[in-house]
Structure 1
Amino acid sequence: MDTVYNLLLVLHLLGWAIVLGGVLTNLRTPRIATGVLHGILTALVTGILMTGLASAGVAADEPDNVKIGIKLVIAIVVTALVVVGNNRPERVTRGLLGAVAGLTAVNVAIAVLWS
């Protein structure tokens, strides 16, 4: 099960990388890149699956529920912003893209720095 968990972790990180890269490349002309929606959905789903595996005790250590809760809230907010920007391209501004990029960076920082 550790192999499955590690594969999910790689997919999770790739999802966040797609979100951050897709947003940063479009700051000049504000729009949501094609892959950003898929990236955030990948990050969200794999994060939930990793938490389930860790909570069940079949892979990794027992997760910190406060940390996971904060990361989940941030991921849901980023998902909502991306969905709104994807469905209504006229509403995409540099502020929205900055919020997505900032929240993505905060989520990654929480994952790495919170021990």
Structure 2
Amino acid sequence: MKTTLVFGASLKPNRYSNIVINRLVSKGINTEAFGLRSGVIGGVQVKTNLDEFQNIHTITLYLNPTRQVQYYQAIIMLQPERVIFNPGTENKEFIGLLEAQGIEAEVACTLVLLATDQY
């Protein structure tokens, strides 16, 4: 089963990362979450240690480009098939680094992809 990692998960229910976790779970998609604070969203444990993740197919980003820089290598080391850059997370530098490693980089909105059955 393909696993999605929501990167930049927020425990605040009105944040898009939180909404996406709930939608992924409701669609039966195996979901993991990484955030600055641990907690539970829609039955998914938000972890604060990237070493706890493996076999990630898709990473959906919810961090602005400035905050992404410190995670470039960690995300590349997870070897996902694709990384989705949600609105506000677009980052040409990081997209270039991912593509150089053979990782698909997609600028899209995960919520829209889910709503239109394109996920």
Given the two structures, how large is their TM-score scaled by the length of structure 2? 0.25
Higher strand proportion (structure 1 or 2): 2
Higher helix proportion (structure 1 or 2): 1
- The higher relative CO (CA closer than 8 Å, separation ≥ 6) is in 1
User: Which is higher, the Rg of structure 1 or of structure 2?
Assistant: 1
